[in-house]
Amino acid sequence: GNTYSLEVRDGVHKLWGDIVPTNKETLSVRMYKKYLPKDCRRRWQYFRMWPNLAFELYPDQVDFMQILPMSPTTMVIREISYALPDDRREMKACRYLNWRINREVNAQDQRLIAGVEEGMATSSYTSGPFAKREICLIDAAENMRKIIPVACEQQKPSAEVMSKLVAEARENI
């Protein structure tokens, strides 16, 4: 949308934007912003580094994520937050609200991904181009195609062809 910006530089994807007040703003978001310094209430930042590391910067903490593929269709996300020691009641509330907001956002993301995957599993699905604005997705797809050439194929290869491609890839490691 028009509320965020994207940048790709030297293998790092940076996403940032202003938090735009809406009538859909949850109580958690309103309460969280109340605890933040005024100059930090309207900005979010997210960085992703190829192939599987990401971190989010918040005024109260930083979250690190490692994405580990488990199979062609599943992954595990390991996540940990770091913050300066601060036992003030306000900071505890701020960090709790941050966690709660992110839990809601993650649930929305999971529903979106499930819908996309459901559509991709249909017989009528065909791949198509990314929107030009989605420079981070384009960069990730290009990186994937470089290291996994079979990702360039329009159709799923036969088991025989796939075995050959895997063997060739192992030789090049």
Burial class (CB in 10 A: 0-12, 13-18, 19+), 110: exposed
pLDDT surpasses 90 at 144: no
Structural domain that includes position 98? 4-120
Q: Is residue 127 part of a domain?
A: no
Calpha distance 111→114 (Å, rounded): 5
Q: 51 with 114, same domain? A: yes
Count of residues in the chain: 173
Q: 83 with 9, same domain? A: yes
pLDDT tens-digit map of 102-135:
898 889 889 998 898 888 888 888 777 888 989 9
Q: 33 with 72, same domain? A: yes
Q: 160 with 81, same domain? A: no
pLDDT surpasses 70 at 99: yes
Q: 139 with 116, same domain? A: no
Q: Is residue 70 part of a domain?
A: yes
Q: 112 with 144, same domain? A: no
Q: 54 with 11, same domain? A: yes
pLDDT tens-digit map of 53-73:
999 988 889 999 999 988 877
Burial class (CB in 10 A: 0-12, 13-18, 19+), 1: exposed
How many structural domains does the chain have?
2
* pTM of the complete model beyond 0.85: no
Calpha distance 83→42 (Å, rounded): 20
Average pLDDT score over residue span 96-102: 89
Q: What percent of the chain has pLDDT over 90?
A: 31
Q: 107 with 161, same domain? A: no
Q: What is the DSSP string of 69-118?
A: E-SSS-EEEEEEEE------HHHHHHHHHHHHHHHHHHHHHHHHHHHHHH
Residue 112: how many CB atoms within 10 A of its CB? 10
Q: 116 with 57, same domain? A: yes
Q: Is residue 128 part of a domain?
A: no
Q: 9 with 63, same domain? A: yes
Q: 115 with 35, same domain? A: yes
